[in-house]
Amino acid sequence: MSTTGLIIKREYTTRVRKRSFLITTILAPIFLALIYIVPILLAMNSDNGHHIIAVVDESHWYENLFANNDEHTFIRIEGTPIEEVKEMVRKGDYEMVLYIPKTELNAPSNAAIYSEGQIAMSIESYIKEVMKKEIEDQKLMASGVDPDIVSNVRTDINLSVIRMDKEGGEKETFTEIEFMLGIGLATMIYMFILMFGGQVMQGVAEEKTNRIIEVIISSVKPFQLMMGKIIGVSLVALTQFAIWVVLTGVIYFGFTAWVGLSSGAMGSGTVMTQNVNVNDVMSNEKVSDIMNIIGSIDFGTILLCFLAFFILGYLFYATMYAAVGSLVDNNTDSQQFTLPITVPLIIALISSFYIVNNPDSSISVWLSMIPFTSPIAMMVRVPFGIPIWQTVVSIVILAISFVGMTWLAAKIYRTGILMYGKKLTYKEVWKWLKHN
């Protein structure tokens, strides 16, 4: 095995055996899956009981408008002061009381719910909706407009976005899904570059501080050492990412299958999440919509682009982090050198919210070509379906930039790795680049 291969093996095995690697590798997919699973479990196992709600309507505007159902029962109370009804709530005769005060001039748009405990959001939303609709209907009738006509006129618009290509093909797209996918992929690359690039810098700085580097450098060329560390950590990153994908997928699809079996076993039973019925979600129409959304996404192209920009973007930035690690004796001194590295990444991440709204604009195209921003900017654009030549050009530019950055970083690395006790400046680093 070559010297570089030995360094790669050492970096890889040392890091994957750490307890922190094992913990984050296992906990991260569990955490991501729980974000999806917990709300569904809470909805499936929620048992809010039946709520008895007293109604004191001094305005008499809303008589018999509050409908009873399996979740709540409304009981009208007349001739009893609100203070006495509130006392009944305290005694447990009613769970809560809805009080609508009388108004002389306008329709009563103010109300209050008195309860000893926190009321369910669904009850609050239902009461607001009933009162809002009644006031709107009364205002329409006062203006000589039949509320039923207005209700029939109101229409939901289903707007489909069809993307055409120059070959005459057409494909339906879903902007919201592409928006979330683009932002999610860009954020993931941003986090991976910062996390694993920082590991390269810390590893170099620690070996320099402990004087281990003096022993290693006697038998290994500085360039081989730098590349061994960068590639070793990149393999750790890819390993962790692959495990995350597999575990998250297993948990997600396993739970989805369990929910499907559970909902089928319940027969006529229903599972409610606010106003959404799980049985409705499992209907053929919904399944068809989900399949259309999934079919509109080119997962193969997205995955290949993600791997390409993740690997090249990491390598490009990791060389800079390795150079910074060779310049400093501790992590505190590294801040002045890491700031110029992180600023382009932050700019790219902030710009991603502009790019998702204008994926084909000239600014978006340039950001996806500049190597300092392309790993993030391009991944925001890829889900929207961009010309292949732009993707290829961006990858080529990033690959060439990585080679050039490696050449510059190696100049800094081989000089800075053996310097101790001196706080370096940008001016001195520039001299190394010119003279080495």
**All domains of the chain, ordered by start, with CATH?**
51-148 (3.40.190.10), 175-435 (no CATH)
Given this model, what pLDDT does residue 117 score? 76
**Percentage of the residues of the chain whose pLDDT score is greater than 90:** 9
Residues 93-113 pLDDT 10s: 888 888 888 876 666 778 888
**CB-neighbour burial class of residue 421 (10 A; exposed 0-12, middle 13-18, buried 19+):** exposed
pLDDT mean across residues, the chain? 76
pLDDT in tens, 16-35: 888 877 887 787 777 766 77
By the 10 Å C-beta count (0-12 exposed, 13-18 middle, 19+ buried), 333 is classed as middle
CA 69/CA 260 separation, integer angstroms:
27
Residue 372 banded pLDDT, cuts 50, 70, 90: very high
Closest CA to 383 of 194, 230, 163, 221: 163
**CA-derived radius of gyration, the chain:** 31
Judged against a pLDDT cut of 50, whether residue 282 lies above it is answered with: no
pLDDT exceeds cutoff 60 at 1: no
Question: Between these two residues, 211 and 51, which has the higher pLDDT value?
Answer: 51
Q: How many CB atoms lie within 10 A of CB 132?
A: 11
Evaluated on CA atoms 343, 346, 348, 350, the torsion sign reads negative
Please give the pLDDT value at position 82: 87
Q: Residues 64-90: pLDDT tens digits?
A: 788 887 777 888 888 888 888 888 888
Burial 236-246 (b: 16+ CB within 10 A, else e): bbbebbeebee
pLDDT of residue 278: 43
Residue type, 279: N
**What number is the average pLDDT over the span 249-275?**
57
Rounding to the nearest 10 degrees, give the CA dihedral for residues 260, 266, 268, 273. Answer: -60
The pLDDT, as a whole number, for residue 347 is 92
